[in-house]
Structure 1
Amino acid sequence: MITVIKKNPQGEALFSYQGEVLAATSRTCIIRAFWTWPDRDLGYARFETGDCFTEYYYTDRWFNIFAIAGKDGQRKGWYCNIAEPAVIQDNRIEQVDLFLDVWVDRQGRVQVLDEDEFQAATNLSATQRHGAREGLQALLEMVARREGPFAEIGP
């Protein structure tokens, strides 16, 4: 098991949870975790107790990707956090969230979320803003090319 620690832009821990490591390299860690919080309807997707999250963390990319499947195994979509490159250690993954998020549905339609929160944030450094913009662009290109976790996108 590994502990994931989500941090704010100042590096303060916001919350943590555990997952099972599925694969790891020097630059990537893929884990499986399950939604254990109360059901949450986001409008574009509903996260429910027991949903399976296959989470992709990178030490050299400004985002992470959560491939989400329901209890029935059906893909719901991909939730992506624009974040500083992950710090991956033997027993934990730490990642600084930068407010921007992306939802990709099963057909590959993309919604960029929380742009207003990102623009209004006064606690982001110039480096964080620059990295977030580059990370968002790289992520959108990855979706368009159906690379990595997005290879499952349907017609």
Structure 2
Amino acid sequence: MSAPSAEPAPATDVEVVLRKAGRTKIRYPARLLSDDGTRVTVRAPWAGAGVRDFGFVRFEPGDVFVEHFWRDRWYAVKEVYAADGTLKGWYCDVTRPAVRDGAVLTVEDLDLDLWCSADGTTILRLDEDEFAESPLLESDPPAAAAAMAALDDLEQLAKEGGHFPRTG
């Protein structure tokens, strides 16, 4: 009788694929921190080219994102840390629930976003104009309603304070 084979070690690297309007917007490597079957948490350096200045926050080389994706929620929450480890805040994307297939984690961006500064004093609903112009409102009304409800939920979490994940 042979000994049972060991289960393969879980993958520690994943590729995050962010899709928008049916196309891949960005792909980037990330370190898998956890996957409990509902929430997947990864860590990744800023994947953009150069600096992206939103006016209320700058994403720049050296920044680190700890990203939380759910299989049962219509959003993702990204902790944003400066190169020195200081929490800048949380950037939240309204998305369809995440799908993980092996080493690939795929999410579909639904335009709406929310920013909450580290101190909780700045909470901004973003891209509602893009969402209003997107075909989702007509092509998939239930998804559009879920997206708006997710943005409302995120705003409520931000206003209540201390309810966003924080790993740093």
Do both proteins adopt the same fold according to a TM-score greater than 0.5, normalized to the shorter chain? Answer: yes
Partner residue, 2:76 = 64
Unaligned runs of 5+ in 2: 1-12
Conserved 8 A contact 2:77-2:164: no
CA–CA distance in structure 2, aligned partners of residues 48 and 150 of structure 1: 20
In the TM superposition, 1:1-155 aligns within 5 A as 1-9=13-21, 11-36=22-47, 37-108=49-120, 109-124=122-137, 125-145=140-160, 146-149=162-165
Conserved 8 A contact 1:19-1:32: yes
Unaligned runs of 5+ in 1: none
Q: What is the TM-score with the length of structure 1 in the denominator?
A: 0.90
**Deviations along 1:114-138, whole A, 9 cap, x unmatched?**
1111111124421221110111122
CA-based RMSD: 1.7
**Deviations along 1:22-67, whole A, 9 cap, x unmatched?**
1111111100000142111110101110101000000000100110
Q: Report the residue type matching 1:147 in the other structure.
A: H
Conserved 8 A contact 2:79-2:90: yes
Percent of residue pairs bearing the same amino acid type: 31
Partner SS state of residue 83, structure 2: coil
Q: Report the residue type matching 2:163 in the other structure.
A: E
1:151, CA displacement in angstroms?
Answer: 9.5
Q: What is the TM-score with the length of structure 2 in the denominator?
A: 0.83
